[in-house]
Amino acid sequence: MECVVLAAGEGKRMRPLTARRPKVMLPVANRPMMEHLVLAARDAGITEFVFVVGYWEREVRGHFGNGSRFGIHISYAPQRQQIGTADALRSAQDLVTGPFLAMNGDMILTGADIARMIRTPAPCMSTSTTDHPGDFGVVLVENGLVMALEEKSKQLKSNIINAGAYLFTQEIFDLLARVGLSSRGELELTDALNILIGEHRLRAVPLSTWMDLGYPWDLLDANAALMTSLVSENHGTVEEGVHLSGPVVIGKDTVVKSGTCIEGPCIIGNNCRIGPHAYIRGATSIGDDCHIGHCTELKNSIVMTGTKIPHFNYVGDSVIGSGCNFGAGTKIANLRHDHAPVRVGGKDTRHTKFGAVIGDDVKFGINCSVNVGSVIGSNAAFAPGSYIKGNFGENSTIQ
């Protein structure tokens, strides 16, 4: 069995986090989201992979290489223009030789579900359920067959959705050749699926576990979920006077200084400096080469590589890019006074606690205040004492 992973897109809904990396390389529990998916497929017995790459493809190639360190073999199929999922899958046509699994790279599945899916006769499509099906392709299923598939339907006919994993034979490429541009100006896999649905030949495979990572707040949900099975490891140095509770992973050459309290689940990368007197609360992952300093508190957040949050800072329920620097006393709010769900750019996060989305290399002066739901583009810079609310584009400056 071969596996095609669609990983060419930018992930515009994840901006500004995708300014310098494709969506599939955003970290969850200190691994790129696509690595979790690929390892699940490997655990299901698949060792031959084709990655369809495009936007910032060097990030994917640089991390995964030929796959040998993961115990798999990877080939790459470039999609030079991202003009739809049908075109993306067609890019892999010359690299697959028989029946194959195809998956969107921006989701989390289990090895058990993948193993069950590849035992199902092709063609088949994975399905899941959600309380907001209007954001996805809504599916009608009867007697195990997909009877209808409608993308982002206005009139919802079920809470069953297309979960983005498929088992195909080589026949799919003949169907893809018949697909024309959609109303959105794209070549869409859905149009090929509808041919199979019209012939009553597309089976539905319900998944037991599925996490779609469409928006930054979805990263936090997945981050917390993937750390529920965390087992403590310490590859660094923990000074006397540090209190650890729950599962905590500490990377190589990381130093946790005296007076620090860490409540797991928590993952800290390599070559980090934590404390003294830092407080890190559950469901937080910290990338390599970070500094979390004196009297700084982090909670339920993702902090990417090389970010410094050094003195008297608070970060809650937020996603922080790489290479950022927080001036002393800078804090991110994460709760409205009326406890209503936080909105980001007009989008309801369905989270009563959500802080901010901060791109790469953002610089804060001392005593900055960031309000709930703020989005800050890469390379932005803020003067001391700035009040920050709403959306700020790349290279924004408040003096």
Residues that are catalytic:
311
Residues facing 2 on adjacent strands: 48, 100
Residues 6+ apart with CB under 8 A from 244: 232, 238, 262, 264
Burial class (CB in 10 A: 0-12, 13-18, 19+), 114: buried
Token pair for residue 181?
Answer: 């541009």
Token pair for residue 144?
Answer: 């195990």
CA distance 393 to 399: 15
Token pair for residue 32?
Answer: 């790129």
HSE of 297, CA atoms in CB hemisphere, 13 A: 10
Taking residue 215's Cβ as centre, other Cβ atoms within 10 Å add up to 20
CA distance 23 to 54: 11
How distant, in Å, are the alpha carbons of 70, 106, 128, 163, 184 from that of 151? 35, 18, 15, 12, 12
Angle (deg, nearest 10), helices 33-43 and 216-226: 40
Does 16 sit behind a cis peptide bond, omega within 30 degrees of 0 on the bond before it? Answer: yes
